[in-house]
Amino acid sequence: MKIKEFFAMKSTSKNMTLQHYQLVNKQVAAEMTGLSSETLKKYRLEGILQKDIHWVVINSRVIRYNISLVLDWMQNKDSNPQGHLRAIESYLASLPSGQNKPRANRSRRYK
């Protein structure tokens, strides 16, 4: 997937949150970041890119990169690290597990 295709998909998506945090394979991540797949792996193993934030394990052979957060990290790591932390918080809040559960109405009246 080319960079233009990624952003075209992002802008035309009906569900911006899901598309905004697209998971991509190492080849696409390398192409979009300009880093080699070996460098991405090195950053993963050294903890520079955080598991379950910047990358996720799908199974024992498949890793996917959260390309939006990886690109944000590259842009902000030196000049605006607090901005990147806000991006991470926004991502975590967008996950279904980060949503507040609706409370059941416990004040039922019985007749």
73 belongs to a structural domain: yes
Residue 101 maps to a domain? no
Residue 65 domain flag: yes
**Strand 23-24 with 62-66, pairing:** antiparallel
Instruction: State how far the Cα of 100 lies from the Cα of 93, in Å rounded to an integer.
Output: 9
Residues 6 or more apart in contact with residue 39 via CB below 8 angstroms: 30
- The whole domain housing 30 covers 3-94
Q: In angstroms, rounded to a whole number, what is the distance separating the alpha carbons of residues 29 and 1? A: 10
Integer angstrom CA distances of residue 91 from 49, 99, 108, 110: 15, 11, 36, 42
More confident residue, 19 or 110: 110
Number of independent structural domains in the chain: 1
Model pLDDT for residues 43-97, shown as the tens digit of each residue = 999 999 999 999 999 999 999 999 999 999 999 999 999 999 999 999 998 888 8
Determine how many CB atoms are found less than 10 A away from the CB of residue 34: 8
